């Protein structure tokens, strides 16, 4: 047993940075008219020039909505302008040549940057606002004008005009009128303030009643009303101001462009390009409209307005957790040692792990949250009856409680760890009680087929042990085995035991009870470390620990001297392969949050499959890796924290009144190379629904071990107060726009409190940015490119066998990196980030190629099965450059597709030949007279080489030829539709 010291938290000192919204008032933007009005009032924007100079200018939209003007300027008034009619597109972020190659602009926030592409040569006016919300207003207003040329010059533009309001805006006001009519019992067009407040709180769950009531009081004062009754117009005004989420509005108009509502095609495109739902259908979108659109007109016309879209984004459909993991989705037929198992430590003690009051409720709660390993202390009791510690001072029987709740949450095996210090006679009585209470649920060697018991060399699987209770006992020292004696926690050894039936509980006369986790000298490391030594083992010999846990179960518990019942960092032991990290369930905090996040996956069944490198017989993995893990492709994670909603005050913060100044911390936990944290600025001025609009990037070297923890804190001068958190395994993240439910200290959901984020994941090392030299140099001379290398074992026959793989490994890297570089470069030319999808690139490309007054400037053809674009007529330099980028991407992917299988076969052959020497490795080491460190290094290098070759073989150079070919060919249909 590893009695583990705490590992230091990732968190370091956090800088206090405050972000004040640059919005002129608290009035929320809820329509295109709001955006245009703001633009006409004007504001300061930073203008970034290609020569790296940055200027501050005051920009306005003229009263006729026909042009932008700025001042001061060296140009005369007629030249310091840009006609709306000359604008081709409006891009968000830093996506133009000016931004990408302008060093001085790097410090400017990407979320506040946008570019106006104009003229026949697609010139760019590159601007940065003082905040992301101001940038969103300009982007939304300009895109609205591009889609509504009738609005220019003051026209209303029919259905979409600013004067009459858009279709979406009409749907919204008509819906609010219908809801108002339902509570206007007299039909006089007025309702009481109480009724209006209650109705808005019903329509917008999570909004604070005090905020709604305050808004009506302000309306009453502004109109100098003598009555508190509310009219329909006041009701609509208050709802739109209080319940409009600007972040959702900006996203909606970006998707719909003209009507401020989505039709089925708009939503389907959103689901495919942003949410990763490749099989989205029009019928499915219409079904979503019926479920989420509140207005009858919207449902009838197949349209989703702002409120319906908001409800959809807040629903389970857009949760951060992959719905696949709501049920058991992993292979449960592998040996028990191949899984991380949820374990609790003295969960029956309420207050602390040493002197806490015993309570059966603690056992029940542990089982209800999915714990699959419980601990019960047993000592000699009066009248020959063993006494379970939890039974002392409680009404009930712990064994019966465990039996009742054992399999309500999970059907997979429950490990019952008996910390027993009983005399032999009371051990016999305990065994009888166990058989009586659990009956056929109790695991014994005879309860499984002969092939799984007896002297099996591997542990049974969770699937085979479904519905079984497995006893976990302490092994008495050899000198007292079979006689009276007891063992302390410090006497427990690391891990232990081979097969389940390989060791017996030390209960004389009751050897038919099978036991797990009984230490075995022949399988254990040579020493039995003390508490400090146990921690050093996990940090100094991680490779040995991982190899040991491939066949044996290992348990870690908090140190018995932790009088405050604090928990160790479980991540420090999961990365070493330890299956059971027992924590105090009664001690909330980051460590327990990580455990809940880990076991939230796989249906919350309490068993999570360990990474392949921890399961395979021949594999290399070091928990202390400070960089890329051999054979594991690193992932780049981009998280945009957009906003937070319905944030409560921190617990115990009554003295601070209603004011909170929230900020969000993102913690990444995993192998040492992955552990880091980043934070947003503080949203000051009492913002319980703050906008952040900040993007963070993480490189994840070992995705299967990584956990992402969102923490919302209240910024305070003295100490930051905890508001809420949510922890999720990297493997469970869903891409796209996602809702993150916040949990309180005890792990319970905070009503309506959430974060709104955007998630993007790529397998691009170095943050997804293209290495610009990748395609411009001779083949085989890739400056700055990282190649996977094989290690020298010091055994000639092995090194000669592995040597032929060096060439194919470099070729595999070049093929993959060339394709990735070309694809990312094409995305940049389309004005899109590296995380964009090919479908989004197609949308952007089609916009460029489709001239407003004539046929497209390119035609799509198939050459050898690959989609190529043939230019038609005269092209601008910008368009020609874009087509060249497309051709380069197709060519690089063609090379990858046509060469991947051959390279894969050469790597696979070397891996196969290397594995022939696996069984003979000890003899080869002895023959070369390798001892000590050289012997360990040879074995380690052999495992490293096999791991690298096996993983690349399985991944087929990180791409399947057939699927990649199908993906590119599949775009032919999309091009045909758009062009």
User: In 3D, which of 567, 578, 597, 573 has the Cα closest to residue 708?
Assistant: 597
Q: How far apart are CA 796 and CA 168, in angstroms?
A: 74
pLDDT of residue 781: 39
What are residue 43's phi and psi, to 5 degrees? -165, 170
Between strands 190-191 and 230-231, the pairing is: antiparallel
The b/e string for 69-79 (b: 16+ C-beta within 10 A; e otherwise) is bbeeeeeeeee
CA atoms of 277 and 309, how far apart (whole Å): 17
CB atoms within 10 A of CB 761: 20
Instruction: Tell me what pLDDT residue 513 has.
Output: 47
Catalogue all structural domains in the chain, each as residue range(s) with its CATH number. Answer: 32-149 (2.30.29.30), 168-318 (1.10.238.10), 336-447+460-475+503-518+527-614 (3.20.20.190), 635-763 (2.60.40.150), 796-978 (no CATH)
The number of residues making up the chain comes to: 979
Contacts of 495 (CB under 8 A, 6+ apart): 1, 517, 519, 523, 524, 548, 549, 552, 553, 554, 555
Task: Quote the pLDDT of residue 14.
Answer: 54
Task: For residue 646, give the nearest of 611, 698, 688, 684 by alpha carbon.
Answer: 688
Q: In terms of Cα–Cα distance, which of 87, 90, 197 is closest to 139?
A: 90
Distance from C-alpha of 89 to C-alpha of 118, rounded to nearest angstrom: 7
Task: Say if CB 137 and CB 118 are below 8 A apart.
Answer: no
Whole-model pTM: value is 0.85
DSSP label of 334: S
Report the pLDDT value the prediction gives residue 816, as an integer from 0 to 100. 84
Q: CA 764 to CA 835: how far, in whole Å?
A: 9
Distance, C-alpha 777 to centroid of its chain: 37
DSSP 158: G
Per-residue confidence (pLDDT) for residue 316, from 0 to 100:
92
List % helix, strand, coil for the chain (3-state, nearest 5).
40, 20, 40
H/E/C letters for each residue in 851-900?
CCCCCCCEEEEEECCEEEEEECCCCCHHHHHHHHHHHHHHHHHHHHHHHH
Token pair in block for residue 184: 């206007």
The answer to whether 784 and 773 have CB atoms below 8 angstroms apart is yes
Whole-angstrom distance, CA of residue 914 vs CA of residue 907: 11
Query: Three-state SS for 676?
Result: strand
pLDDT for the residue 775: 25
The CA distance from 666 to 16, in Å, is: 15
Q: How far apart are CA 374 and CA 343, in angstroms?
A: 6
> Do 782 and 774 form a contact (C-beta atoms < 8 A)?
yes
Q: Which residues of the chain carry a pLDDT beneath 50?
A: 1-13, 15-26, 155-161, 163, 450-456, 475-534, 655, 764-781, 954-965, 967-969, 971-973, 975-979
The confidence score (pLDDT) of residue 952 equals: 62
- pLDDT attached to residue 93: 86
Greatest alpha-carbon pair distance for the chain in Å reads 104
Angle at 699 between CA 693 and CA 701, to 5 degrees: 150
């Amino acid at each position: 047993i590893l009695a583990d010291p705490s590992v230091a938290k990732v968190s370091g000192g956090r800088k206090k940075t405050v972000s004040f919204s640059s919005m002129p008032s608290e009035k929320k933007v809820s329509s295109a008219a709001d955006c245009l009005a703001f633009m006409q009032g004007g504001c300061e924007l930073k203008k970034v020039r290609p020569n790296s100079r940055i200027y501050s200018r005051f920009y306005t939209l003229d009263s006729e909505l026909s042009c932008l003007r700025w001042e001061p300027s060296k140009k005369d008034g007629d030249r310091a302008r840009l006609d709306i009619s000359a604008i081709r597109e409006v891009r968000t972020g830093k996506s133009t040549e000016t931004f990408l190659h302008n060093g001085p602009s790097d410090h400017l926030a990407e979320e506040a940057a946008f570019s106006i592409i104009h003229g026949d040569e697609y010139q760019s006016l590159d601007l940065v606002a003082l905040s992301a919300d101001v940038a969103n207003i300009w982007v939304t207003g300009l895109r609205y004008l591009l889609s509504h040329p009738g609005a220019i010059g003051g026209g209303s533009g029919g259905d979409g005009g600013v004067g009459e309001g858009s279709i979406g805006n009409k749907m919204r006001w008509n819906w609010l009128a219908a809801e108002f009519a339902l509570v206007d019992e007299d039909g006089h067009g007025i309702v009481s303030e109480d009724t209006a407040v209650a109705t808005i709180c019903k329509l917008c769950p999570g909004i604070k009643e005090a905020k709604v009531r305050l808004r009506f009081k302000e309306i009453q004062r502004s109109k100098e009303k003598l009555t508190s009754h509310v009219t329909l117009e006041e009701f609509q005004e208050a709802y739109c101001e209080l319940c409009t989420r600007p972040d959702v509005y900006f996203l909606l108009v970006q998707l719909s462009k003209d009507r401020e509502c989505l039709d089925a095609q708009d939503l389907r495109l959103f689901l495919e390009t942003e949410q990763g739902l490749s099989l989205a259908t029009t019928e499915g979108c219409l079904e979503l409209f019926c479920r989420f659109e509140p207005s009858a007109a919207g449902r009838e016309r197949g349209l989703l307005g702002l409120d319906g879209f908001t409800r959809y984004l807040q629903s389970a459909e857009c949760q951060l957790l992959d719905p696949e993991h709501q049920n058991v989705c992993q292979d449960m037929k592998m040996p028990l040692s191949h899984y991380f198992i949820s374990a609790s430590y003295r969960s029956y003690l309420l207050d602390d792990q040493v002197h806490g009051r015993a309570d059966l409720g603690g056992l029940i709660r542990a089982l209800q949250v999915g714990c699959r390993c419980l601990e019960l202390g047993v000592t000699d009791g009066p009248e020959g009856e063993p006494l379970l510690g939890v039974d002392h001072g409680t009404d009930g029987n712990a064994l019966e409680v465990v039996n009742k709740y054992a399999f309500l949450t999970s059907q997979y095996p429950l490990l019952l760890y008996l910390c027993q210090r009983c005399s032999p006679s009371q051990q016999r009585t305990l065994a009888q009680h166990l058989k009586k209470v659990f009956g056929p649920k109790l695991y014994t060697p005879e309860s499984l087929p002969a092939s799984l018991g007896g002297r099996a060399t591997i542990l049974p699987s969770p699937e085979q042990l479904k519905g079984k209770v497995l006893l976990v006992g302490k092994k008495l020292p050899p000198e007292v085995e079979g006689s009276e004696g007891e063992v302390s926690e410090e006497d427990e050894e690391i891990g232990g035991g081979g097969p389940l039936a390989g060791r017996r509980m030390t209960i004389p006369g009751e050897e038919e009870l099978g036991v797990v986790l009984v230490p075995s000298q022949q399988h254990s490391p040579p020493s039995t470390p003390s508490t400090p030594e146990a921690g050093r083992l996990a940090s100094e010999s991680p490779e040995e620990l991982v190899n040991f846990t491939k066949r044996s179960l290992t348990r870690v518990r908090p140190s018995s001297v932790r009088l405050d019942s604090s928990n160790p960092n479980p991540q420090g032991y999961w990365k070493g392969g330890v299956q059971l990290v027992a924590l105090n369930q009664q001690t909330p905090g980051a460590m327990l949050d990580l455990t809940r996040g880990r076991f939230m996956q796989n249906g919350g069944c309490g068993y999570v499959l360990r990474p392949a490198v921890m399961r395979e017989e021949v594999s290399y993995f070091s928990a202390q890796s400070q960089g890329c893990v051999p054979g594991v492709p690193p992932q780049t994670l981009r998280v945009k924290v957009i906003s937070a909603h319905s944030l409560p005050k921190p617990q115990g913060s009554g003295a601070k009144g209603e004011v909170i100044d929230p900020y969000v911390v993102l913690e990444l936990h995993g192998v040492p190379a992955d552990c880091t944290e980043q934070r947003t600025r503080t949203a000051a001025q009492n913002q319980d629904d703050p906008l952040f609009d900040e993007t963070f990037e993480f490189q994840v070297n070992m995705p299967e071990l990584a956990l992402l923890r969102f923490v919302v804190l209240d910024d305070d001068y003295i100490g930051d107060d905890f508001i809420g958190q949510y922890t999720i395994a990297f493997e469970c993240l869903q891409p796209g726009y996602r809702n993150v439910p916040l949990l309180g200290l005890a792990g319970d959901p905070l009503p309506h409190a959430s974060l709104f984020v955007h998630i993007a994941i790529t397998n691009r090392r170095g943050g997804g940015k293209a290495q610009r030299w990748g395609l411009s140099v001779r083949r085989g001379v890739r400056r700055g490119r990282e190649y996977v290398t094989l290690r020298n074992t010091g055994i000639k026959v092995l090194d000669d066998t592995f040597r032929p793989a060096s060439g194919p490994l470099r070729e595999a890297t070049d093929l993959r990196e060339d394709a990735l570089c070309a694809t990312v470069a094409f995305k940049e030319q389309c004005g899109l980030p590296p995380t964009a999808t090919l479908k989004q690139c197609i949308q952007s490309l089609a916009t460029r190629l489709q001239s407003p007054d004539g046929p497209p400037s390119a035609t799509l053809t198939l050459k050898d099965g690959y989609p190529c674009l043939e230019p038609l007529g005269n092209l601008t330099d910008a368009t020609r450059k874009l087509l060249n980028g497309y051709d380069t991407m197709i060519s690089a992917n063609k090379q990858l597709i046509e060469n991947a299988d051959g390279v894969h076969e050469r790597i696979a052959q070397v891996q196969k030949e290397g594995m022939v020497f696996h069984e003979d490795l000890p003899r080869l080491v002895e023959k070369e007279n390798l001892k000590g460190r050289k012997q360990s290094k040879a074995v380690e290098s052999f495992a490293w080489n096999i791991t690298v070759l096996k993983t690349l073989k399985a991944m087929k150079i990180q791409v399947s030829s057939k699927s990649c070919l199908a993906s590119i060919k599949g775009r032919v249909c999309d091009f045909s539709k758009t062009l």
